Amino acid sequence: MRVFVRILAPLLGLALAAVGVLGIVEIVTAWIQPDRGGDGLIVPWRAWQRVLDTQLWATTPVKITAIVVAVVGLLLIVAALTARRHDVPLRPPAPHVTVTTSPQALARMVGRRVRAADAVAGASVTASRRAVSVRAEGWEGTVTPPASDSPETSPATAGSSDIAQPGETPRLADTVRADVESLLDDLPLATRPRVAVSVRALGGPR
Report 92-151 residues binding other proteins (CB under 8 A): 92-102, 104-106, 108-109, 112, 115-118
Rounded Cα–Cα distance for residues 166 and 203 (Å) = 13
Closest to other proteins by CB, 30 vs 41, is: 30
Residue 190 within binding range of other proteins, rule CB under 8 A: no
Rounded Cα–Cα distance for residues 141 and 81 (Å) = 47
Number of residues that bind other proteins (CB under 8 A): 81
> What phi and psi values does residue 162 have, to the nearest 5 degrees?
-85, 145
Rounded Cα–Cα distance for residues 188 and 172 (Å) = 26
Residue 32 within binding range of other proteins, rule CB under 8 A: no
Chain CA centroid to CA 122, Å: 24
Question: In this chain, which of 44, 91, 148, 163 binds other proteins, going by CB under 8 A?
Answer: 91
Residue 36 within binding range of other proteins, rule CB under 8 A: no
Question: In this chain, which of 16, 47, 131, 190 binds other proteins, going by CB under 8 A?
Answer: 16
Taking each helix axis from N to C end, the angle separating 2-32 and 60-82, rounded to the nearest 10 degrees, works out to 140
Contact region for other proteins (CB under 8 A) — 35-43, 58-66, 153-161, 165-173?
58-66
